[in-house]
A = this chain, B = another copy of it.
Amino acid sequence: MNKYNKPMGLAKTEIFTDLQNEIAVISKAFGHPARVAILQHLFKMDTCVCGDLVSEIGLAQPTISQHLKELKLLGLIKGNVEGTSVCYCIDSENWTKMKAIISQFLDQDLSNKNCC
């Protein structure tokens, strides 16, 4: 810490509403093309993808693993161990919930907003 009430590199989440923080956290998960690519791939596949994400996307295995961890922590995907490999897929229920939160934010009324 330092002379500031909060360290400089850290977002001041406590001054915002829960909804504002929630929108930010979800959006941040979509804020890297690798995670977008992972999610798109999981949607494209009819079955679960068991670890071919590394060859599919083109980043090193630890990097993909790190991105998967973030998505799993947030709840957007689920991962099941199957022998030596792990089966990942979209968490439909949570995806729907988070989609609702983001959609509500995106769908704000645009009438009378062309004033500049």
Q: Could you tell me if A46 and B15 are in contact, using CB atoms closer than 8 angstroms? A: no
Q: Count the A residues whose beta carbon is within 8 Å of the partner chain — how many?
A: 55
Residue of A37, A57, A109 with most partner-chain B CB within 10 A: A37
Q: Could you tell me if B116 and A106 are in contact, using CB atoms closer than 8 angstroms? A: no
Integer count of this chain's copies in the complex? 2
Q: Could you tell me if A20 and B36 are in contact, using CB atoms closer than 8 angstroms? A: yes
Tell me which residues across on chain B come within 8 A of A20, comparing CB atoms: 33, 36-37, 40
Chain A interface (Cβ within 8 Å of chain B)? Answer: 11-13, 15-17, 20-21, 23-24, 27-37, 39-40, 42-43, 46-48, 57-59, 78-80, 87-90, 92, 95-96, 99, 102-103, 105-110, 112-116
